[in-house]
């Protein structure tokens, strides 16, 4: 599956590059230069990368292409870093659901794209420190704000008509970005709704769910009462039946 | 592993279902049943029972000590289970090996002929008052009535005892919207694509009401598609709806908001219980799931200082759609 995706991405990348070359040769538009404030060298490299891989869907001028991709003006550094570093972008089919994958660019290319698109405004990459968070408070906050879709143990699932990703193994920084930007169908949570300290708590709890302390001994996938009930019925009830059979008396 | 478990299940089921063979002629009166009396001593079994009982007692005592000294869930479970298991095993072993095995048949004394006659007379006399048939029929009737009553009375519990709650709401024109910390909300602070749990400002007792909690969302005002009479209810694209789902009364806590609607799905409020989905831009019309009635909408206004304030009560009855509630809701 991953190999196929990679192949698709490669084909698409080559296609995009070809199109970009073609449009450049035909005197097509170049993406606008980065706004002042960004690291000029980095943003300039980001501009070239953008023209090659992103402009086909998000537009040469970053204002989006109808039916393909939304405007990136004001999307912000947090969005670019989230989508590209989680491998959700670039996407082979703009109507598909973005799914987590290996990042398709090395870190320095991602930084260049972040610098370039980030110079057009929008939320910066938030600082999140799971180490500074409190797991207990994080669980409360997670239950209230996140568990409706991501499930209380962060396993994800299929809710609101989309795949909800598991968050246990997601780095704290990406969790913070997702919270602030609201990727795909997720709503965004601003500072007022979730202050930075609460975000740290949530990140701490998310990290905890990767290896939770199973007080009962066996987590059974930490999926909740249904598998627990099944185990009770299939193991304990069968064992009891066996004991009843052993104890019972039979003539002959 | 699975096949093994299956085979065990099948074996157990067959063992349970197997019929005992009918007692054959060997059990006739003068034949000797080898199991009639067996008091063979089993000294090893006796020692075993004593050992199991002692071990069980120790484990249970260990459980008690652990509760106080080191309440580790696994250790507690293990000691109690092992302790009870030992006692159970001791009882099973004792009943099989230690207690004398005996099949005892209680003989009935033959009834002398004259007593027989007296009994028959008594039985005939007894039947004259109330016939046995009538007694049984009466008792059966009584049992039937009781049974019917037991079945029928709980029916009264089907249906909510809401006491008018669906139509009671603390929302009034001019009442401020506050977040769960009691702070007023500024319209400018509500980002497009965000959602907020909101309560009416003031009397904390009113917050217990079904009609109090409201969910606030903001969408692009140009994309709104509200009925004409509600055009002014959503200033700057900010919408407020009752948080109680119209299907089963859960709290609607999920909000889906697309980054790019063209390539994904439209914004909607979703109930986490049965995934009823409400299109917020069309006044929370249900578009998926079991709910049939729109979430009641709260008309909003912005005061002179930019705070959000209610423009009136909720637009309809709050909560699950019981018969009368469903009918009293006009447009939805």
Kindly state whether residues A142 and A183 are assigned to the same domain.
yes
Q: How far is A91 from chain B (nearest CA, A)?
A: 12
**Contact residues on chain B for A182, CB-CB shorter than 8 A:** 193-194, 257, 259
**Contact residues on chain A for B265, CB-CB shorter than 8 A:** 160-162, 185
Q: How far is B68 from chain A (nearest CA, A)?
A: 18
| Among A177, A193, A208, residue at a domain's last position | A208
Output the 3-class SS for chain A. CHHHHHHHHHHHHHHHHHHHHHHHHCCCCCCCCCCECECHHHHHHHHHHHHHHCHHHHCCCCCCECCCECCCCCCHHHHHHHHHHCCCCCCCCCCCCCCCCCCCCCHHHHHHHHHHHHCCCCCCCCCCCHHHCCHHHHHHHHHHHCHHHHCCCCCCEEECCEEECCCCCCCHHHHHHHHHHCCCCCCCCCCCCCCHHHHHHHHHHHHHCCCCCCCCCCCHHHCCHHHHHHHHHHHHHHHHHHHHHHHCCCCC
What's residue A5's pLDDT? 61
Kindly state whether residues A101 and A9 are assigned to the same domain.
yes
Cα–Cα dist B245/B260, whole Å: 27
**Contact residues on chain A for B20, CB-CB shorter than 8 A:** 250-251
Kindly state whether residues A72 and A146 are assigned to the same domain.
no
Domain of residue A142, CATH code: 1.10.760.10
Whether A200 is in a domain gets the answer: yes
What's residue A214's pLDDT? 81
What's residue B38's pLDDT? 75
- Interchain contact, B12 vs A238, CB within 8 Å: yes
What's residue A26's pLDDT? 42
Kindly state whether residues A134 and A66 are assigned to the same domain.
no
Task: Work out how many domains chain A is built from and give that number.
Answer: 2
Residue extents of the structural domains in chain B: 34-104, 165-328
- Interchain contact, B254 vs A69, CB within 8 Å: no
Kindly state whether residues A58 and A141 are assigned to the same domain.
no
B27 and A CB contact within 8 Å? no
Q: How far is A152 from chain B (nearest CA, A)?
A: 13
CB nearest A185 (choices: B12, B217, B257): B257
Whether A220 is in a domain gets the answer: no
Which residues of chain B are under the pLDDT cut of 50?
A: 1-3, 12, 16-22, 25-28, 326-332
Kindly state whether residues A90 and A59 are assigned to the same domain.
yes
CB nearest A182 (choices: B254, B257, B270): B257
Kindly state whether residues A90 and A174 are assigned to the same domain.
no
**Contact residues on chain B for A189, CB-CB shorter than 8 A:** 194
**Contact residues on chain B for A97, CB-CB shorter than 8 A:** 264
Tens of pLDDT, residues B117-151? 878 877 777 656 566 677 788 889 999 998 888 88
Whether A236 is in a domain gets the answer: no
Domain of residue A49, CATH code: 1.10.760
B75 and A CB contact within 8 Å? no
Kindly state whether residues A83 and A13 are assigned to the same domain.
yes
- Interchain contact, A148 vs B272, CB within 8 Å: yes
pTM of the model: 0.65
Distances from the Cα of A199 to the Cαs of A131, A176, A190, in angstroms? 11, 7, 10
- Interchain contact, A162 vs B191, CB within 8 Å: no
What's residue B34's pLDDT? 55
What's residue B135's pLDDT? 79
What's residue A204's pLDDT? 94
Domain that holds residue A11: 2-118
Kindly state whether residues A98 and A138 are assigned to the same domain.
no
Kindly state whether residues A142 and A165 are assigned to the same domain.
yes
Q: How far is B7 from chain A (nearest CA, A)?
A: 12
Identify the H or E element spanning B128.
Answer: helix B113-129
Whether A13 is in a domain gets the answer: yes
CATH architecture of structural domain B165-328 = 3-layer Sandwich (2.102)
Whether A55 is in a domain gets the answer: yes
CB nearest A251 (choices: B20, B262, B275): B20
- Interchain contact, B8 vs A184, CB within 8 Å: no
**Contact residues on chain B for A250, CB-CB shorter than 8 A:** 20
Whether A245 is in a domain gets the answer: no
Which residues of chain A are under the pLDDT cut of 70?
A: 1-29, 36-38, 250-252
Check if the interface score ipTM surpasses 0.85.
no
- Interchain contact, A70 vs B259, CB within 8 Å: yes
Find out whether A135 and A205 touch, Cβ atoms under 8 Å.
Answer: yes
| Site of tokens 């007379």 | B121
| Among A74, A93, A118, residue at a domain's last position | A118
What's residue A216's pLDDT? 72
């Amino acid at each position: 599956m991953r190999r196929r995706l990679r192949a698709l991405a490669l084909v698409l990348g080559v296609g995009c590059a070809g199109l970009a070359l073609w449009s450049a040769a035909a005197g097509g538009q170049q993406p606008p230069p980065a706004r002042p404030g960004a690291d000029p060298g980095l943003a300039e490299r980001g501009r070239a990368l953008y023209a090659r891989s992103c402009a086909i869907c998000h537009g040469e001028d970053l204002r989006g292409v109808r039916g393909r991709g939304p405007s990136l003006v004001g999307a912000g550094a947090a969005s670019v870093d989230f989508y590209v570093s989680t491998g959700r972008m670039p996407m082979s089919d703009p109507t598909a659901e973005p799914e987590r994958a290996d990042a398709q660019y090395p870190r320095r290319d991602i930084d260049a794209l972040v610098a370039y698109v980030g110079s057009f405004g929008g939320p910066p990459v938030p600082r999140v420190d799971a180490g500074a968070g409190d797991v207990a408070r994080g669980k409360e906050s997670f239950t209230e704000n996140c568990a409706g879709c991501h499930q209380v143990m962060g396993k994800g699932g299929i809710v609101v008509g989309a795949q909800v990703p598991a968050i246990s193994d997601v780095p704290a920084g990406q969790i913070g970005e997702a919270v602030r930007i609201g990727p795909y169908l997720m709503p965004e949570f601003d500072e007022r709704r979730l202050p930075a300290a609460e975000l740290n708590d949530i990140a701490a709890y998310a990290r905890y769910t990767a290896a939770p302390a199973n007080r009962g001994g066996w987590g059974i996938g930490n999926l909740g009462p249904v598998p627990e009930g099944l185990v009770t019925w299939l193991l304990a009830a069968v064992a009891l039946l066996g004991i009843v059979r052993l104890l019972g008396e039979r003539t002959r | 592993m699975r096949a093994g478990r299956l085979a065990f299940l099948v074996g157990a089921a067959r063992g349970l279902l197997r019929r005992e063979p009918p007692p054959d002629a060997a059990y006739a009166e003068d034949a000797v049943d080898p199991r009639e009396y067996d008091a063979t001593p089993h000294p090893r079994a006796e020692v075993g029972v004593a050992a199991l009982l002692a071990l069980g007692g120790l484990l249970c005592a260990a459980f008690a000590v652990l509760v106080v000294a080191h309440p580790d869930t696994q250790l507690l479970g293990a000691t109690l289970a092992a302790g009870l298991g030992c006692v159970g095993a001791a009882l099973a072993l004792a009943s099989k090996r230690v207690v004398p095995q005996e099949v005892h048949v209680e003989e009935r004394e033959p009834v002398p002929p004259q007593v027989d006659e007296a009994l028959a007379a008594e039985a005939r006399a007894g039947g004259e008052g109330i016939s046995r048939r009538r007694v049984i029929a009466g008792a059966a009737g009584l049992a039937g009535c009781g049974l019917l009553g037991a079945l029928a009375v709980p029916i009264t519990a089907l249906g909510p005892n809401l006491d008018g709650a669906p139509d009671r709401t603390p929302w009034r024109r001019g009442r401020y919207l506050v977040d769960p910390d009691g702070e007023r909300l500024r319209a400018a602070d509500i980002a497009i694509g965000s959602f907020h749990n909101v309560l009416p400002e003031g009397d904390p007792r009113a917050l217990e009401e079904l009609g109090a909690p409201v969910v606030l969302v903001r969408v692009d005002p140009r994309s709104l598609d509200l009925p004409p009479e509600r055009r002014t209810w959503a200033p700057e694209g900010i919408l407020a709806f009752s948080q109680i789902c119209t299907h089963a009364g859960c709290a609607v806590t999920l909000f889906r908001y697309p980054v790019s609607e063209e390539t994904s799905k439209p914004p909607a409020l979703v109930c986490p219980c049965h995934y009823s989905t409400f299109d917020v831009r069309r006044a929370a019309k249900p578009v998926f799931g079991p709910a049939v009635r729109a979430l009641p909408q709260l008309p909003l206004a912005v005061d002179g200082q930019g705070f959000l304030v209610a423009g009136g009560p909720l637009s309809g009855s709050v909560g699950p759609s019981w018969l009368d509630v469903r009918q009293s809701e006009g447009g939805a």
